[in-house]
Amino acid sequence: MKKPWAGRFAEKTAKIVEAFTASVHFDKRLWRHDIEGSIAHAKMLGKQNIIPQKDANLIIKGLNEIKKEIESGKFKFSDELEDVHMNIEHALIKKIGPAGGRLHTARSRNDQVALDLRLYLRDELKEIISLIDNFREVLAALAEKYIDIIMPGYTHLQRAQPVLLSHHLLAYYEMLKRDEERFRNCLKITNVMPLGSAAMSGTTLPIDRKYTAKLLGFSEVSCNSMDAVADRDFVLEFLSASSVLMVHLSRLAEEFILWCSSEFGFIELPDAYSTGSSIMPQKKNPDVMELTRGKSGRVFGHLVSMLTIQKWLPLTYNRDMQEDKEPVFDTVDTVKACLSVIVSMMPKVKFNKTRMAKATEEGLLTATDLAEYLVKKGVPFRDAHEITGRAVRYCIENNKALTGLTLNEFKQFSNATDKDVFRCLKVNESINRKTSFGGTATKEVLRAIKQIKNEK
């Protein structure tokens, strides 16, 4: 097959080089957006009389036929034609003859590939945003449903203070809300049309970039032709937003893995979302969560790849940039797969209220409440902390709970204690007194849920 750029060369490309430089085996994924971009470009060329209108019509018809061939699986992509762009253009010329040779007027693969990737990512970003949105809804619904479940909150993975399960779940809601913002911002940056930058400096032909942008639904046209073909910061934004999202999913996964262990026993994962062991018949493993945790690693890897690929490229286009596609595609697949599986699993998770409550009763979780009780009685916080610390040590040494101490015992640590101390040590009381904005009091969590619903 003759290459479109063969004119300048005396020798045929070596097979080994063809195989090495080809990207069609992965970038064929951009075919739909490549055709969409080419159709808009052809319309613009026709409207501007840069090419005869009848040729533009032929091109559009030919491209629509190619689209059907690809959809039905009849189209043959070939490595010899390097990438998706040349494969489609070659097929067009074969199909409609010399008119097809006019499509690439005032265009380079440099602005074409930037366009295709933006079009592709724009669609995928919208899907990812809607998946995150679903996830947020699921979390808010669970928070409302399980408003009466109490659990230990942790720091250093040591029991710290009692919280509502709903409060814990809504922590993830907030993270995902910021994730969604990051993806929306990425969509904004991606939604800029690079076509018309041509190789890197623009074109001498009288193109109408705004018209093409309008046809393709872009809100903006890129302002500098060199920037438009050289930069992939929208890809970096996408990979970085994805990495942060995966950090959040991975933490949730890690918690669920811990919580479904016999040691915690806080949740039971649905059978349909668990896997078994080929040797140990009793096993029920949280592989979905483990894979989510594991897959975060590959997304971070893609971000580092892209940062490294970009960082030393002199302006403008360099072939290194072809290495951007696989990280993007794999990240899209990974993020969508993780979100989809978690979103569908979450409502089926069983929360073990009794186990969680029991874990909250053990471990002196209301010690901070005792210190704050003393503060309210006028004791400076540092002294209150010290006094409570001694009471805690006494409890540990005598195998007692704080609620198991008598008033006389309390008085030995501080005279400021009174019989109302017992109330403040109750887990329920502790939770419901945390009424500071954003705290775990039921009232406050219900307010948060209400606010979330109003935002919808």
- How many Cβ atoms sit within 10 Å of the Cβ of residue 270? 14
Q: Do 13 and 70 form a contact (C-beta atoms < 8 A)?
A: no
Q: Which is nearer to ligand ARG, 20 or 437 (CB)?
A: 20
At its nearest, how many Å lie between ligand ARG and the CB of residue 51? 22
Count of positions on this chain that bind ligand ARG (CB under 6 A): 10
Nearest residue to 246 via CA among 311, 130, 342:
342
Instruction: Measure the CA–CA gap between 388 and 370, rounded to whole angstroms.
Output: 7
250 is catalytic: no
Who contacts 437 (Cβ-Cβ below 8 Å, separation ≥6)?
A: 444
Residue tagged active-site, from 130, 201, 219, 277: 277
Main-chain dihedrals φ then ψ at residue 208, nearest 5 degrees: -125, 90
Nearest residue to 248 via CA among 296, 299, 215, 188:
296
- Segment 70 to 89, residues that bind ligand ARG, using CB under 6 A: 83
At its nearest, how many Å lie between ligand ARG and the CB of residue 260? 43
Q: Judged by CB under 6 A, which of 33, 41, 107, 109 binds ligand ARG?
A: 109
Q: Judged by CB under 6 A, which of 38, 110, 316, 414 binds ligand ARG?
A: 110
Instruction: Measure the CA–CA gap between 45 and 42, rounded to whole angstroms.
Output: 5
CA dihedral 130, 217, 96, 53 (to 10 degrees): 160
Q: Which is nearer to ligand ARG, 312 or 437 (CB)?
A: 312
Work out whether 156 is an interface residue with ligand ARG (CB under 6 A). Answer: no
Q: Which is nearer to ligand ARG, 110 or 292 (CB)?
A: 110
Q: Do 177 and 136 form a contact (C-beta atoms < 8 A)?
A: yes
277 is catalytic: yes
- Segment 165 to 204, residues that bind ligand ARG, using CB under 6 A: none
Q: What is the x/- site pattern for ligand ARG, positions 307-326, by CB under 6 A?
A: ----------x-x-xx----
Work out whether 107 is an interface residue with ligand ARG (CB under 6 A). Answer: no
Q: Which is nearer to ligand ARG, 22 or 267 (CB)?
A: 22
Instruction: Measure the CA–CA gap between 226 and 210, rounded to whole angstroms.
Output: 18
Q: Interface with ligand ARG by CB under 6 A: which residues?
A: 23, 27, 83, 109-110, 113, 317, 319, 321-322
Catalytic center residues? 156, 277
